[in-house]
Amino acid sequence: MTVTVGSTVLSATLGAGAAARDFLALLPLRLTLADFHGIEKVADLPAALSTEGEPAGTAAEIGDIALYAPWGNLAIFYRPFPRSAGLVRLGAFDGDIAALEGHSEPFDVIIERAG
């Protein structure tokens, strides 16, 4: 998939789990990302994602894309985060995510299937 931030297009790869499949089915999406605790960018999703068969929690690395199931929101990590119950990894960016980090105010992104 691709995530467009202004004029920058970032590529990412989704996993094969139920939550990732449900997320892919929502695309294309225009979301407003906001910073959360200097660790991640978060956005509300328009629909719930299935967590059937997903691990009960995971840790996050820089560039991970995740669902925080208790709140139903998307989380994009630009700092590592220890294992958290309810965190479901959807996939990860394929390279540098600096275009996402430099925003202190909420900003819009477009998330689409890769062409």
Residue indicated by tokens 């990860």:
92
Instruction: Give the per-residue pLDDT at 115.
Output: 75
* Number of CB atoms found within 10 A of residue 58's CB: 18
Query: Rounded to whole angstroms, how far apart are CA atoms 109 and 95?
Result: 17
Tokens of 47: 């629909």
Give, for all 115 residues of the chain, the pLDDT tens digit: 999 999 999 999 999 999 999 999 999 999 999 999 999 999 999 999 999 999 999 999 999 999 999 999 999 999 999 999 999 999 999 999 999 988 889 999 999 999 7
Interatomic CA distance for residues 13 and 89, integer angstroms: 11
Q: How much is the pLDDT for 18?
A: 96
Judge if pTM exceeds 0.85: yes
Within 10 Å of residue 30's Cβ, how many Cβ atoms?
11
Provide the pLDDT for residue 103: 85
* Cα 69 to Cα 10, 88, 94, 107, distances in angstroms: 24, 7, 23, 22
CA distance 28 to 56: 27
